[in-house]
Chain A
Amino acid sequence: MSRTIEADFCIVGAGAGGAVAAAELAEGGASVVVLEQGEHHDPDNFTARPPEMLARLYRDGGQTTTLGSPPILLPLGRGLGGTTLVNSGTCFRTPAHVLKRWAVEFGLELDEQAMSACFWRVEQSLSVSEVTPELAGANAAVMRRGAQQLGWSHGYLRRNARGCVGSGVCVFGCPTSAKQHTGITYIPRAVRAGAQIVTDADVRELLRDGARVRGAVARLGDGSRLEVRASEVVLACGAIHTPLLLARNRIGSSSGQLGRNLSLHPATAAFALMDEEVNMAHGVPQSFYVDEFAADGLMLETVAGPPAYAAMSLPLRGDRHTQAMACYSRLAQLGLMVSDSSRGSVHALGERPVIRYSLDAADLARVRIGLERIEQLLRAAGAREVYLPLPPGVAAHAARARDLRLMAFHPLGTARADARPAHGVVDGRLAVHGLRGLRIADGSVVPSSLGVNPQLTIMALATRLAFQLLERPVPCEASIQAENVELSTTTSTTTT
């Protein structure tokens, strides 16, 4: 069976980029169809139990892995909300020095001022605010104490959450719907504005007419074929799957950059056994950061989770593992994220992405130093024992790439933006070079490592893109306030 829908915009993917673009475009009066490969996840089915939720909410059960030295686990969300459904909710604006670098190196005119209205709009939509010390919990208190002892710059993180009670399972499906992921914020807005959301829609084919993309074709869960004909297609499948879809359709490869330039923010974490009760899963898991070494590419952020999560990540074996887990309530955990200079690639092997990425010498040095800093902080906080994610007998300073146990959550750059067609897949307006009717709004366009969690950057870029497509300026704080004043003046005049 086959059917065809016509729309102004067809958006492929309902994560950080796609959901934002869909809502803004639909509210701007455009007809929008969103094709999402995953499903809508009902929070009534969230169990707060890691193995089950990993299987349900993540692509490949959260076990997507890179090939290289060392292999890196790269969990990706799947469903309405994409990875925003399963991330920790941390919100950082793109650092100013990164925007400057993009202007110089990639010719992108995205200065702080130009982006501030987009950031503000996203932050309002997602109720972004700083975690309170009470909600941050004892794990954050441990890290704060360590940072204060050492005089290191630190703070509570800003998150997209409303009415959070610190359930401790942000990455396994928020049971209170406090985390304002795009599946419960932007997608409902898009629907209210008339957008059609089609889940279980696997897009393999883009419709082309010479140098113009005219739509997309999806295979639905029931086996039927859905063709969406649109004036513009916006791809937002993420940095792993967008380049594969482009490559499958022989689009975007003329620069030689498609599928290349993959950065990941390699991450790892250490545990500490404290004298005090920590109960790490009571509170917001990612609530506190140390940015003392941000200029060196190191960001420390708290991480935490229920016993099953801790047991899986605790870098101990046998009796030592059992003994440490018996003291779970006194375990604290701190993560390290590296702003990487290493670059990887993604290509398809049959139906599967093959992700290649090896740590370069500079990043290896960053991870080593980061682990030393974590140990220093945990000791300063009063840790009785510190468990670094290294094999027995290997010191942080001597760790080889193959000794490291890394994860990554922020794939970026595989269809990077560059004003010059020979150097990037999309231009500064996120249009694929040399084609009309095709834009990209996900992490794949981000041309360099950010050094901070990327969801706000991706959402702000999608906001900017949506208003460019609507040919309107992004409403800024001042214009909204002026509108409100005008409205209240009109109301009071009417009342009078």
Chain B
Amino acid sequence: MLIQLRDVSKLYEVGAQEVPALRGITMEVGENEYLAIMGPSGSGKSTLMNIIGCLDTPTSGSYVLKGREVGSLDDDELASIRSAEIGFVFQTFNLLPRMTAFQNVELPLVYSHVGRHARDGMVWKAVDAVGLRERAHHRPNELSGGQRQRVAIARALINGPSILLADEPTGNLDSATGEEIMQIFRELHAAGNTVILVTHEQYIAEHARRIVKLRDGMIESDSVA
């Protein structure tokens, strides 16, 4: 099993009060699944995504990723797991504005210590995969929203991650462009990638094969389409 969450809870301290964001989440995700995590704002879906993406650790419970307990790792170990296993795609793209598309895609390789000469070929391959060879040397502000999100997807894929984690990937795009991006995810899934979408839009979630709905920090439903 790729991901095993067992009774995962997350408490946030707001002043003197403890606010629970997740309450006893137990779920599993296998290799090559296409999963959507849904829920209204405040349901805990962002917190769950952060934990799955190793940006955060649970307050209690266990998170095993590829057979490795993640909950007790320190910051550096989490960083290296993010580098090797997770590819993030954000609603707001989060490209570095002063870098070209090419350099943005290259950046994760820098942090995973891939040599300079090996990088070039890998970056071009990823850029080609999202159809952006022509625009590779442009900066984000010279690209359309859809093109920016493609750059972000190429960046997420460059290290060959186990999980592609997309947080509202179409939220800042018009519906036609959003559809194109969803098409890319579909292809990536078909090519063997594990994709986890986080969204509050039913029609986006319906692209996935399995939908997990959260409410008040708990799983409300877990259904396969």
- On whether the two chains bind one another, the answer is no
